[in-house]
Structure 1
Amino acid sequence: HPQRLTVPLIRKAGATKEMMDPADPLTHFREASWDEALDFAAAGLRRQPVSALAGLGSAKGSNEEAYLFQKLVRTAFKSNNVDHCTRLCHASSVAALLEGIGSGAVTAPVAEVAHAEVIILIGANPSANHPVAASVIKNAVKAGVRLVILDPRGQALSRFASHHLRFRNGTDVALLNAMLHVIVAEQLYDRDFVAARTTGFDDLARHLADYSPEAMAPLCGIGADTIREVARLYAKAGSAMILWGMGVSQHSHGTDNSRALIALALLCGHVGRKGSGLHPLRGQNNVQGASDAGLIPMMLPDYGRVGVESIRARFEAAWGATLDSKPGLTVVEIMDAALNGAIRGMYIEGENPAMSDPDLGHARAALAGLEHLVVQDIFLTETAMLADVVLPASTFFEKTGTFTNTDRHIQMGRQVIGPPGQARPDLWIITEMARRLGLNWRHDGPKAVFDEMRALMPSLAGITWERLETEGGITFPGGKAILFDDAFPTEDGRARLVPAFGLAPAEQVDESYPFLLSTGRVLEHWHTGSMTRRSSVLDHLQSAPAVNVSPVDMAALGIGEGAILRLESRRGSIEAVAAADSRLKPGTLFMPFCFVEAAANLLTNPILDPVAKIPELKVSAVRLHAL
């Protein structure tokens, strides 16, 4: 691609940190040799106090790269200020899963829907975001499986569903607790499973007493009879899968949303057997593997908490370093700290917070205000435009490494071609940066890094580099696709039933901001569009920034298809083209966040889930008018 980064870049003296033409980086940068760029990058970080440094790794890179990146931050920066895009997608799901069942990954692969009697799909649009999963679901339905969709917005899979409950945005807990109330009140739960495999039932039952369908119906917008019907359908199924997406997780009560889903599965015994399980549909190609490898601020590889001395000691012995016992800052917290001067230097690999973070005006000001920013990427992203030094990296075709998909399936990615120009594999760049930051690393390629990971991560037991080379892929742990058939990885072997709270989104509509905006992805463009918008075919299919509006609202506003609208929230404003969408309920809007010329995240709310620190990207109060 003509915009691929092929040579290291250093910002010109006096060049303003601002959005610019990515096709012409030399207006603000000059070319440099690798030695000069790496020396400059490391020197700028070394000038800052280690307490003022942070790093963002990538969910698009390999497991080995994620592992080395978090190791660099923890040993060179001497803190746990390392995170990646899981904080913006399924951090709340992982937090609830770890709390409830002792594991932060799926309990069964997507393919198990073929063996289910009922599928609950909530807060996800697989046809646009997980097309392979959508095909599997459609095939299952055609074979007789019942599909129940819980989502405020219609979708392509709606016509395959026996029920589609279009509840009000942000009222997931109200709906799910009402379903749980029915299952407990009508004694539809699996008594043997609950007694033998769980704790907390009595507390949960008391909590649910006030959440009858009749009480919750006015809040969630779904009739009490429909809630009862769906609850009974799920509870009485011999096997059932729950799949969910970021419509569940990206809320100020996202952890509670997932807690309620976990409680549904546990109450009915739909975990640990054929055709049953809990499956958060992961986003990026390696967000599961990056999380497993420790690219999160409160946990070391394999989800060992940084505050537990015995866990920390294992890594200290292996790495020859003293590790911080305090959890680090998360993505949004890092931006807050950068804006107030507590964070002064950052190393960002393959992430684009200048497009993906909530309240972008705030995030971009934070990035531009850093004293030193190092960005490692394949294109001059919006984040790279604000960097002091840019290091040209590689795509997965151009390097060898392992990747872990949403099914816990680890696969070998083999280099097919070399990186263009002077671009280098990310593993090489991270290692060279580490050496210049005072770490005496001598990793001899990805296999050596994977072997180090195996020695420290019990989940990789029995999975060798040689097996991955010959077998193509292996599911962890131990090759088991369906987990927890006899016990959960908790201290007592039991899962926890945790009550869920949070009945409404943090930001409500009012007379000044009467519409609810939800953001997400579209089939044509992935996340911030840093790759897909550079595809002429994909950008031709969806080239203009559009905001989807209910036809009812369009008629009330007196606007037609293609009208130019200004959207305003309490945080910013953008202009976009109106697109009629009959799948939306009146009063709600949808917009993808991939368009830099109309960046939806200029509008979104940075308020955080208190447990997982994930922002409420799915609900923002806005107003709009035609230009």
Structure 2
Amino acid sequence: MEQTHHSFCRVCINQCSILVKTENGVATAVHGNSSNELYRGYTCVKGRSQPDYLRHSDRLMHTLARTADGHHPMPVETALDQIADQLADIRDRHGPRAIASYAGTMAHITTAPTAAPLHDALFDAIGSDMRFDPNTIDKGGKQVAASLLGSWGAPSQGFASPEAILLIGINPVVTCTGLPAGAPKRWLLDTLAAGCKLIVIDPRRTEVARLADHHLQVAPGHDVAILAAMIRTVIEDDLFDHDFVHRHVRGLPELRAALSAFDPDQVARRAGIAATDLAAAARCYAGAPRGYTMAGTGPNMAGDGTLVEYLVLVLETLCGRWLRAGETVAATPTLLPPTSYVAQASSFEGKWALPGRIRVRGLRRTKAGMPTAALTDEILTPGEGQVRALISWGGNPAVAFPDQQRTIEALKSLDLFVQIDPWYSASAQFADYVIAPTMPLEVPSTTVFLDYLAARGTGYGIGQAYGQYTPAVAERPPGSDLIEEWQFFLGLMRRMGYPVEVTPFGTGPQGPRYTITGQPTTDQLIEILSQDASIPLAEVKSHPGGLSRSDRLQRVDEGDPEVTDRLDIGNPLMIDQLSEHLDVSTTKDRSDRPFRLLCRRYLHVYNSSCNVERTNRGKPYNPAYMNPHDLAALDISERDLVRITSDRSAIAAVVHADAQLRPGVVSIAFGYGPATRDDDVWAVGSSPSRLVSVSDVFDRYTGQPRMTNIPVSIERITSEPQRHQQ
């Protein structure tokens, strides 16, 4: 029997409201929900392709265990028995720190309401803080920078009626960050039509750059200097919010002195743009009464993400881009517990670091989490505290982690490696156990992740109060032996003898704690974890297509006049680091490595996920894009194979022309490629992470290595490659 069900997509952070058609329990089609006022029918090819994922011939239907002659199916309950025994043995012999986890990009997107609380409960019980995630190889500088600046007790102006938007190294119509969850391009077009100005800083003329009032197509490596020069212009032209700065900010004299070295004319010349364009962009942004700035992976992956994000916050603070007393918080939480907002600053006095140290490069745990780029060294470095067991879920470390060769060496050396994965991925190949999980349409969930994103910082999540619940709308494949991620973690806790106490997702360690007894269903677990939600779960369920609301919104309260905390725009750590950028560029020109490797994103994949026939449409690889003038100078033609060489390693790639790129750069997507160097790049793509060194250049706070703006050389391998036949 054919049916149509309301649901929402859990393939990326946009979490689109969708309609799922099923026939006898099998999903046959996914469409956007045009009646949902937030999404207005929007979906992408990844979300619409979900029926293909569920019944794809490569999907794992049973857990695999490694034996002497390879991986073989094993009942998941048997695997849980064995894994629990091995974890207990490693804990007893080597201590809790020897057990680590990696929660990849898909871990929280697909299973946030249920699996994350159980994962945290397991590692709390074990006593290990060795918990890693993609944040510190993506944009971890945001959280550290906020700690160095201090906190405003209310959200930024953000998506609430902006009159100027500044986007740095980000393409929101592809990434679904930097614009509010919903129909991103339509929202942007509507906002621009209402008079909002758009300023984009990017070496590539992206989809959003083509809509910009000001596009600074800068050479890579100049983000810090460009921001410093813009801030200097705002101060010298007296465009900052004097009242807000006087009442709530400190450090202006120190900042002004540090910026004196960043002459806008010199910065613009070295970045390859006109000084008049730089000044006009700064004045356009600061001259608007309301607005927001969002920096993406481009500047964050360049080695100084924390400093970049601190300067973003300095610009926001000088312009007074924070909600004030009496203003409404448009994105008031729906499924998170209520919170209070107050118009005052809180100084963290440098508390950017948290308990938990790494044994290499002087790194430690920060507000951004554990430095993921150091995990391989934690596995490979002998001594007390060496990581010997890893549970990876929702990610693909063998492809996603920087310095791929060392990552694979580390994965192979583990005493126990568990990979939870619906596919036999590059990482799964090295696992002792590959746990086959359910996929999103097969399980219930809520959009609490959207509330969490909105609270995380400017440029994330929803722009209005919204929530949705979905039941399971597709049946699991017949004969399969699948497990939900939360059941996996709960099963380990039960077998290891731990009581199960959980904190709802997004509430942090100070959130309410609930004891889980027995074996609840997924819906029962969601009910338990949602009982303190701002809007009752039952009310959200009563709107199966999604609940958008403009009532029961919270307002920002007046600050306490006795509080003297200030936002610090002259933090000594950041001022000292800024002085190191007086040469403007983060990497020097090199004759042996004349090109700069830049990261990019695609709409049809989500990092290493969703790359199937229907989404890639016959192009499963990740092209290396170059400006046509560079290709001509190197006598390279479209679809030639080239060798891209960094100081760390080399990869083969298929080259494509992109006239929207600045000359001198090569742009390629991460999340592709094989675990070894011998596979056909036409079939699986190239591994840019292999070119990345984790120790040469890295953010001193988050440990994030330079993963973009990497000096490379390019040479042709052959002008007539033999294309892999699918």
What is the TM-score with the length of structure 2 in the denominator?
A: 0.71
* 1:80 paired to 2:129: yes
- Of the three residues 475, 481, 487, the one matched with 1:428 is 487
* 1:336 paired to 2:353: no
**8 Å CA contact 2:598, 2:668 repeated in 1:** yes
Q: Which residue number in structure 2 is paired with residue 407 of structure 1?
A: 461
1:245-275 CA-to-partner distances (Å, cap 9, x unmatched) read 212322321011111111111111122169x
The percent identity for this pair of structures is 24
Q: Which residue number in structure 1 is paired with residue 229 of structure 2?
A: 178
1:162-203 CA-to-partner distances (Å, cap 9, x unmatched) read 110012212111001101111112221110011123232232
- Of the three residues 120, 139, 142, the one matched with 1:70 is 120
Q: Which residue number in structure 1 is paired with residue 170 of structure 2?
A: 124
**8 Å CA contact 1:271, 1:484 repeated in 2:** no
Q: Which amino acid aligns with 1:205?
A: R
Q: How does 1:243-392 map to 2 (within 5 A)?
A: 243-272=294-323, 307=355, 329-341=370-382, 342-392=386-436
Superposition deviation, residue 103 in structure 1: 7.2
* 1:416 paired to 2:473: yes
Q: Which amino acid aligns with 1:338?
A: I
* C-alpha RMSD of matched pairs (Å): 3.5
Between the aligned partners of 1:47 and 1:151, the Cα distance in structure 2 is 51
Q: How does 1:205-604 map to 2 (within 5 A)?
A: 205-272=256-323, 307=355, 329-341=370-382, 342-403=386-447, 404-405=449-450, 406-407=460-461, 411-420=468-477, 421-441=480-500, 442-443=516-517, 444-446=520-522, 462-470=534-542, 472=546, 479-480=553-554, 492=564, 494-498=566-570, 500=574, 501=578, 503=581, 507-528=587-608, 530=609, 532-534=610-612, 536-596=613-673, 597=684, 598-604=686-692
Q: How many residues align?
A: 564
**8 Å CA contact 1:338, 1:370 repeated in 2:** yes
- Of the three residues 64, 79, 91, the one matched with 1:9 is 64
1:502-546 CA-to-partner distances (Å, cap 9, x unmatched) read 636665442222211012321222201x3x212x22222533331
Between the aligned partners of 1:563 and 1:600, the Cα distance in structure 2 is 17
Between the aligned partners of 1:505 and 1:484, the Cα distance in structure 2 is 41
Superposition deviation, residue 582 in structure 1: 1.0
Q: Which residue number in structure 2 is paired with residue 312 of structure 1?
A: none
Compared with structure 1, are the counterparts of its residues 170 and 492 closer, same or farther at alpha carbon in structure 2 (3 Å cutoff)? farther
Between the aligned partners of 1:33 and 1:168, the Cα distance in structure 2 is 54
Compared with structure 1, are the counterparts of its residues 163 and 369 closer, same or farther at alpha carbon in structure 2 (3 Å cutoff)? same
* Higher mean displacement: 550-559 or 615-624: 615-624
SS, match of residue 565 in structure 1 = strand
**8 Å CA contact 1:81, 1:330 repeated in 2:** no
* Higher mean displacement: 441-450 or 139-148: 441-450
If each structure's helix is expressed as a fraction of its own residues, which one has the higher value? 1
Superposition deviation, residue 307 in structure 1: 4.3
Compared with structure 1, are the counterparts of its residues 559 and 614 closer, same or farther at alpha carbon in structure 2 (3 Å cutoff)? same
* 1:614 paired to 2:722: no
**8 Å CA contact 1:251, 1:619 repeated in 2:** yes
**8 Å CA contact 2:99, 2:388 repeated in 1:** yes
* Higher mean displacement: 131-140 or 550-559: 131-140
SS, match of residue 615 in structure 1 = coil
* Higher mean displacement: 345-354 or 61-70: 61-70
Compared with structure 1, are the counterparts of its residues 305 and 259 closer, same or farther at alpha carbon in structure 2 (3 Å cutoff)? closer
What is the TM-score with the length of structure 1 in the denominator?
A: 0.82
Superposition deviation, residue 622 in structure 1: 1.2
Compared with structure 1, are the counterparts of its residues 75 and 108 closer, same or farther at alpha carbon in structure 2 (3 Å cutoff)? farther
Between the aligned partners of 1:238 and 1:350, the Cα distance in structure 2 is 41
- Of the three residues 149, 160, 166, the one matched with 1:100 is 149
SS, match of residue 96 in structure 1 = helix
Alignment gaps of 5+ in structure 1: 16-27, 280-285, 290-302, 309-323
**8 Å CA contact 1:97, 1:103 repeated in 2:** no
Between the aligned partners of 1:475 and 1:84, the Cα distance in structure 2 is 33
Alignment gaps of 5+ in structure 2: 1-55, 338-350, 357-364, 451-459, 501-515, 674-683, 718-726
Q: Which amino acid aligns with 1:365?
A: E
Q: Which residue number in structure 1 is paired with residue 716 of structure 2?
A: 626
Q: Which amino acid aligns with 1:515?
A: F
SS, match of residue 148 in structure 1 = strand
Between the aligned partners of 1:103 and 1:30, the Cα distance in structure 2 is 54
**8 Å CA contact 1:97, 1:105 repeated in 2:** no
**8 Å CA contact 2:622, 2:672 repeated in 1:** yes
* 1:199 paired to 2:199: no
